[in-house]
C-alpha cells in the first residue's frame, strides 16, 4: 500500500500595491500560527529599513520580529528551525527566492510571501511573478485611490526619482486606481 505523505507544504502569496495591507495580512497570518504553537520564522530583505531593523512593521504600526537578510539563500540556514516561513517585501529579493520558497514547500513547510506585484511603472516586480504561478494560494489586496477613492491596485510614484528601487512612504508614493494612475 502506498504511504501517503503527511504534512505537505505549500506557498501563499499576498500581493497588491503599496498601502494595501500586505504586511498587515502577513502579520495576521503569522500571529495566528504562533498562537497555534507553530514555530514561525520571518524575513525581510536588507533594502527595506523604513521603520525598524528587526521587525516587520505595517503602515498602521503593527509589528512582528523578523530577520534581515542580504540574500534569500540565507533562509536555508533556518530550514530546520521553523514550520511556517514569512517573507515580507519579497519583490526586493533576487530570483533565488523562487527556488528557496519551493524547496521549503517541498519539504513540508508553509511559506507565506508578501510583496508588491507591480513596480512604479506597473511592470512585474522581481521574483513575485513566478511565485504567483508556483503558489497554492494567492490573495490580491487593494488600497484606496488617493485621488478618487476607488479600489487602488497601482502604486504611483509622486517623487521624480527614476531608479527602480526608491524606498519611501507617503512622501514618495500614492495608491491609485487604474483611471488615476499615470506612467
Cα atoms in the 13 Å half-sphere on the side-chain side of 24: 11
User: Measured from the CB of residue 125, what is the shortest distance to ligand ADP in angstroms?
Assistant: 13
User: Smaller CB distance to ligand ADP: residue 97 or 116?
Assistant: 116
Residue 169 is a catalytic residue:
no
177 touches which of Zn ion, ligand ADP, Mg ion, none (CB within 5 to 8 A by kind)? Zn ion
User: Measured from the CB of residue 166, what is the shortest distance to ligand ADP in angstroms?
Assistant: 15
Active-site annotation holder among 24, 39, 70, 89:
89
18 touches which of Mg ion, ligand ADP, Zn ion, none (CB within 5 to 8 A by kind)? ligand ADP
In the region spanning residues 115 to 154, those forming contacts with Zn ion, defined by CB under 5 A, are 145, 147-148, 150
Burial (Cβ within 10 Å: 0-12, 13-18, ≥19) of residue 85:
buried
Q: Helices (DSSP H) in the chain: which residue ranges?
A: 22-35, 96-106, 128-134
DSSP 107-158: TT-EEEEEEESB-TTSSB-TTHHHHHHH-SEEEE--EE-TTT-SEE-EEEE-
Binding site residues, ligand ADP, CB under 6 A: 16, 18-24, 58-60, 143-144, 146, 175
Active-site positions?
89
Amino acid at each position: 500500500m502506498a504511504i501517503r505523505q503527511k504534512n505537505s507544504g505549500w506557498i501563499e502569496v499576498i500581493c497588491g500595491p503599496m498601502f494595501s495591507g500586505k504586511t498587515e495580512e502577513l502579520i495576521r497570518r503569522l500571529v495566528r500560527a504562533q498562537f497555534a504553537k507553530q514555530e514561525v520564522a520571518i524575513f525581510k530583505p536588507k533594502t527595506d529599513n523604513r521603520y525598524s531593523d528587526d521587525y516587520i512593521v505595517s503602515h498602521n504600526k503593527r509589528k512582528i520580529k523578523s530577520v534581515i537578510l542580504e540574500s534569500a539563500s540565507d533562509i536555508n540556514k533556518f530550514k530546520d528551525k521553523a514550520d511556517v516561513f514569512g517573507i515580507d517585501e519579497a519583490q526586493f529579493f533576487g530570483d533565488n527566492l523562487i527556488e528557496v520558497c519551493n524547496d521549503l514547500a517541498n519539504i513540508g513547510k508553509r511559506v507565506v510571501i508578501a510583496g508588491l506585484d507591480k513596480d512604479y511603472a506597473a511592470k512585474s516586480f522581481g521574483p513575485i511573478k513566478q511565485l504567483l504561478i508556483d503558489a497554492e494560494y494567492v490573495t490580491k489586496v487593494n488600497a484606496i485611490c488617493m485621488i478618487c477613492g476607488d479600489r487602488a491596485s497601482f502604486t504611483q510614484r509622486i517623487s521624480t526619482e527614476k531608479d527602480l528601487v526608491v524606498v519611501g512612504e507617503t512622501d514618495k508614493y500614492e495608491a491609485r486606481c487604474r483611471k488615476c494612475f499615470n506612467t
